[in-house]
Amino acid sequence: MPADTTAAVPRPPARPATAPVITGAEAVVRSLELLGVTDVFGLPGGAIMPVYDPLMDAESVRHILVRHEQGAGHAAQGYASASGRTGVAIATSGPGATNLVTAIADAYMDSVPIVCITGQVFSTLMGTDAFQEADIVGITMPITKHSFLVKRAEDIPGAIAAAFEIASTGRPGPVLVDITKDAQQTEVPFVWPPKIDLPGYRPVTKAHGKQIQAAAQLIAEARKPVLYVGGGVIRAHASAELLALAETTGAPVVTTLMARGAFPDSHPQHLGMPGMHGTVPAVLALQEADLIIALGARFDDRVTGKAALFAPHAQVVHVDIDPAEISKIRTADVPIVGDVRDVLVDLEAAFRGASESGAPDLTEWWSFLDGLRDEFPLGYAQPTDGHMSPQYVISRIGELTGPEAVYAAGVGQHQMWAAQFIKYERPNAWLNSGGAGTMGYAVPAAMGAKVAEPDRVVWAIDGDGCFQMTNQELATCTINDIPIKVAIINNSSLGMVRQWQTLFYDGRHSNTDLNTGHGTVRIPDFLKLADAYGCLGIRVEREEDVDAAIKLALETNDRPVVIDFVVSADAMVWPMVPQGVSNNYVQYARDHSPAFDEQED
């Protein structure tokens, strides 16, 4: 007879004979506490007010009052991305909930686990265009993993527990829980743990063994393999397993914008970031490969360029926990659905078996790639307009701060320079809005990251355009003792739009001048703004003053720091593959990238 294994099966804690009777609002707070939530970001309003009353008495949940609900959403993202734990944002109905939409869409695109709890009007008023009513479940359905509408108080614990389960398992992402006001106010017995019933939600984590063996065989036979690493490796906490596979196979590694830090920049097998603004070795390694091993990556258009011309000679092994991503853009010769962390372990073991007769000889492949490294080192041209080089400023921030910090970037030129010129040695050090490209992400995301990782230095590297969208969260930082550092890369313009106008619209700079730094009148004056928010404000206009300002920021931990770095508006992000063209662009790079003619270390 088989052994009795009953004792080995974990059992839920016994429920009390008499469950305490509490309101639905109290059940929200109690559920968060029992799920181990320690920090939430939110802003109260009429439809969520019942929750805010017991939240005031919560001993283990810290609520951080933001100045705009979008800030709550991005803070929850930054919290999750820096720590790996699920972030939480709370908002009221109507405009409070719709202000979360941008952050929810952003989290959906970048697979960030957040739970958004919103208040809704009384269930009897739904559908009547009641005051501050909005169908937030319907609005967010395309941009969440799931959206719950809770109309009964007894359903609240189960909905919240299920939301955390869905957000953090499988492919991570945002989940919305919308709770009517009457459900919050009704008293019911509180039962924990609730029964979670998620029919149809069964994420596949264990890959098929035959697919693993087929992939390992392709790697063993390849002469020009590339490990194409996406953000899924970071979400899966699989960096150590990636390092092991890379060193076992000897294959070059490229890390996408969302995967910076998944593989150490200092490692000799790392070629850098691929894509529109990637390094030449990374881009051409993919283009010339005979085998691409895509790990938690989705063949985004910013990586592939014109998809029909991408890597024409390569077979593809595609590993992803989301089956919808497999062969969506590029047909996979070996599709592998599973948790990339587990797949990497199995794949390394299978490769060792497949290559017992001898590891593949990649000498010729590495000779080609090293030649590209020598010919096309990452660099930049010095500005000629008398202003500072933004690349220099950002590189010095990284060099003086080090790899243990967290760097959150806004969107645009400064985002690309931060991805290029800061060296990332560990996962979760680089936060940015990759898929949605949301301006205004940096400051609230940095705030959330600092709450999650209070012992780390956290930089928000922002543009003067992005900064003006969410800088009100500096008030939140000052009041709540969240001493982030903000570097405004101030080129007095919407820099990336201006770059495209320069290159593709005959230099017609339509509506991209922001008047923030280059004239005698600065609107706004970022130093005065910093002072108004209780921050230390610093302005730097000369390269010889850059280091001193950064060091002062690093030494200041009693309040946030804002540094206004006034840089050249003519600086461009190079290399650049124009949208919709082939990635086979060595000649284009030579003709259009002055950085290749005038290198700066």
> Where in the sequence numbering do the catalytic residues fall?
69, 131-132, 181, 496
- For the chain, the first-to-last Cα distance in angstroms comes to 71
Distance CA 216, CA 219 (A): 5
* Type of residue numbered 14: A
Whether 471 and 495 have beta carbons less than 8 Å apart is answered as no
Take residue 70 and report the two structure tokens written for it.
């979008």
Peptide bond into 281 cis (omega under 30): no
Residue holding tokens 């990782």? 453
3 state DSSP class of 300:
coil
Distance CA 514, CA 495 (A): 10
283 φ/ψ angles, rounded to the nearest 5 degrees: -65, -45
Q: Which residues contact 399 (CB under 8 A, 6 or more apart)?
A: none
Distance CA 33, CA 30 (A): 5
Whether 294 and 318 have beta carbons less than 8 Å apart is answered as yes
Whether 282 and 327 have beta carbons less than 8 Å apart is answered as no
* DSSP string across 385-426: SSSBPHHHHHHHHHHHH-TTSEEEE-SSHHHHHHHHHS---S
Strand order in the sheet with 253-255: 270-272, 253-255, 225-229, 291-295, 315-320, 334-337
Distance CA 436, CA 74 (A): 12
Q: Where are the alpha helices (DSSP H) in 21-61?
A: 24-34, 49-55
3 state DSSP class of 281:
helix
